[in-house]
Structure 1
Amino acid sequence: MSGVLSIGELARASGLSVSALRFYDKAGVLTPHAVDPRTGYRWYTDRQVEAAVLVAAMRRVGMPVKEMTAVLTGTDAHGLLDRHLGRLEKGLDDARRELTRIHHLLDVRRGTGNVFVVGTAGLLAAIGSVRFAADPDSEYPVLRGCLMETDDGVLRLVTTDRYRLAVGTAALLAPPDTPVSAVVPCIFLDDAAGLLHRHAEVAVHVGSDSVTLRCGTEELGTRLVDGAFPDHRSLSAAHPGIEHSFSSAELRAVLADAGDRVDLGVLESGEIVVGSRGAAPNARFHVQVNAGFLLEAVDALPGEQLTFDVTGPIAPLAIRPRSVHTSDPASAYSLLMPLQPVALT
């Protein structure tokens, strides 16, 4: 009989088993063209092959049976498929989070190193706040690396090339058993970006000589960098100095034409004028910094308003998001070492 398929033929053409075709008939998803009243044998038309192939595909991705019929009839078909994809993605994210926690629990149970969990969005933001201040060409490995340390429920990242220092932070979702302090190569953080972007959180396993990032079933590891990292806390002022806030956009405009260095004139009023020395002739004192370094700090820090904190002409310049001070354990900030003063015009 031309154009008519047996249930076995449709099964072979669609990838559905005979028992699955019987199930979808009873569920009203894919009913036969005809049923032999004596034997109950099902017959289908060749036009139903395409529908059966769609049913097989929807079955493979776990589409609910009730929604299969709506997809086949064209009732908001694409919308139903998109919403199902959203459910699958959420379920996958949930599974990844649980697997991360299981890895963490197993490591704690076995006593293998120290483990903490951090959100990937916060970690990526912290990396972006500090990456620029490392020196990729330094002869000292620690200056090519990034310090990772934990305390007060915060993961802190620190980089420095001895002329500037950058600090970024991310809130811990699960703290380690004991505080962590380890230096990893900055290139490892670059390699980790792709992994982190694919997940909502990451378990960081710190061993005696290595660090491993675990996101669900994916892992990325590196050896720790040998050597003592500079004491960044000794460079940060314990109390705020003279503070003045700027628009990030205005700073970028000024620094674009500043040349190699820029002068910060600190007025008696507490205002800070950024430009050439002549722009603040009555300044209480001046601080000169590398203009390129300052621009990189402005670009790396979040927010549309940044605050400069100056404690003296030879003290480091602190730059931070407005309303956050460098003594805050959850703050992100940069420090720039002042240059030897020269006359600016």
Structure 2
Amino acid sequence: MPDSELMPIGVFARRSGLTPSALRFYADSALLVPAAVDPVTGYRYYSAAQVAPATALRRLREMAMPLPGVEAVLAAGSDEASRLVDEHVAGVLREAAAARRAAAVVKASLAGVPALPIAVLKGPVLADAVEQVLTATVRERGMPVLAGVHVEVTREAVSLTATDRYRLSTRTLVPAEPPLRTWAGTVDGDELRTAAAAIRRGATVRMEAMPHGIRLRVAHLEDQYCRLLIEEEFPDHRQMLAALGEVTTRATVSKDLLLRALEEHPGDPIGLHVTDCSLSLLPTCDGDVEHRLPATGRGQALRIWFELTTLYPAVSTAIGPDVMLDLRGDAQPVTIRSADRGDLTTLAMPVKPDHST
């Protein structure tokens, strides 16, 4: 290769994002050997073709991948390299989760405050409730509380609530034993999701309050810790629920039929036409016909539109074979819940008919 096509180490460092000292280290490690070395001066030169692997090397190291793993990725084909990267990221996430759990234990011991028992719940029931309300969480910059689940314990019940501002899901659970005290806090949703997989295997789960989170205890299994999100307060969902207007239209429809219709509907947003004897999905273009589903209802006929990403999870997490929709006009939240069980309730915000994503 002509010398004119080679770059000195300083130029190559700027193009690859690696420092000259890092390039020397990777050369000595045989991970990125220079294209040429001046036999007199010892100066190292690199080719333009080495920029891509050097950049990949830098990014892999930024992911905290050890040198043997980097070497394996760079030497592998595309599919195998992708698998190795995914495997490494999964390991990092497992280690991070374990570190967070260990940190919760350490912080609790440093605080010197004993854990306070607050509620006893059935493990499978709590796990189902967690997974149902988690569909209403969202990761949003500047609002970390929206990625959490608000846990509220009263003398009669335990409530789990989550919201992404377009949906609000709340599930009320009857404790296996009367709660010992009242308590409220917003728990990290990802950690609660991880804990749900473990607590599902326990007949009962003991929930305990700690200074920086909650501990979920299942007999013969490892304790699960979930940290509290304290950066900001959870939205006042009770005030929002209390401020809802009167229901003007109510429809009860098969959950499976409605989900299938939403899956097959070509449009977004999705328009619903509710009458006293049917619920229809409105056509998306001229010439199409309404997709009518059998339903029972009462009140005023109404047309209302929703984003698929808002309406579908609200319906899919409902309990039981039939869902009930309580509507308050085309610009007010609709309440979606089981037709015969009210312990899981979801509110979904509609959009304007001409709304486009």
- TM-score, normalised by the number of residues in structure 2: 0.58
The residue type paired with residue 156 of structure 1 is S
The residue type paired with residue 225 of structure 1 is L
Give the corresponding residue for 2:229.
225
Cα deviation, 1:186-218, whole Å, max 9, x if unaligned, reads: 111111023212211111111333211111253
Distance in 2 between the 1:138 and 1:343 partners? 24
Q: How does 1:77-226 map to 2 (within 5 A)?
A: 112-151=115-154, 153-217=156-220, 218-226=222-230
Distance in 2 between the 1:114 and 1:238 partners? 38
The residue type paired with residue 323 of structure 1 is D
**Distance change in 2, residues 1:180/1:321 (3 Å):** same
Give the corresponding residue for 1:250.
257
Give the corresponding residue for 1:303.
320
The answer on whether the counterparts of 1:243 and 1:309 sit within 8 Å (CA) in structure 2 is yes
Give the corresponding residue for 1:77.
none
Give the corresponding residue for 2:268.
260
State the aligned residue count. 227
Deviation at 1:148, TM superposition (A): 0.5
**Distance change in 2, residues 1:279/1:335 (3 Å):** same
The residue type paired with residue 261 of structure 2 is V
SS of equivalent residue, structure 1 residue 134 = coil
Deviation at 1:114, TM superposition (A): 4.6
Deviation at 1:184, TM superposition (A): 0.5
Where structure 1 has 5 or more consecutive residues not aligned to the other structure, the ranges are 1-109, 326-330
Distance in 2 between the 1:275 and 1:249 partners? 18
Give the corresponding residue for 2:282.
275
Cα deviation, 1:254-310, whole Å, max 9, x if unaligned, reads: 10133321112233x475433338739xx8432211123211122212211111110
Distance in 2 between the 1:257 and 1:247 partners? 16
Structure 1 residue aligned with 2:239, among 217, 234, 238?
234
Distance in 2 between the 1:343 and 1:182 partners? 35
SS of equivalent residue, structure 1 residue 115 = strand
Deviation at 1:143, TM superposition (A): 0.1
The residue type paired with residue 279 of structure 1 is E
Percent identity, aligned pairs only, is 25
Distance in 2 between the 1:307 and 1:290 partners? 18
Distance in 1 between the 2:200 and 2:301 partners? 47
The answer on whether the counterparts of 1:115 and 1:175 sit within 8 Å (CA) in structure 2 is no
**CA radius of gyration, larger in:** 1
Deviation at 1:239, TM superposition (A): 5.3
SS of equivalent residue, structure 1 residue 314 = coil
The residue type paired with residue 192 of structure 1 is A
The residue type paired with residue 235 of structure 2 is P
Cα deviation, 1:135-192, whole Å, max 9, x if unaligned, reads: 0344311101000112352211111111111112221122333322110011111110
- TM-score, normalised by the number of residues in structure 1: 0.60
The answer on whether the counterparts of 2:167 and 2:346 sit within 8 Å (CA) in structure 1 is yes
Distance in 2 between the 1:191 and 1:128 partners? 10
The answer on whether the counterparts of 2:319 and 2:338 sit within 8 Å (CA) in structure 1 is yes
**Distance change in 2, residues 1:223/1:111 (3 Å):** closer
Where structure 2 has 5 or more consecutive residues not aligned to the other structure, the ranges are 1-112, 292-299
Give the corresponding residue for 1:290.
307
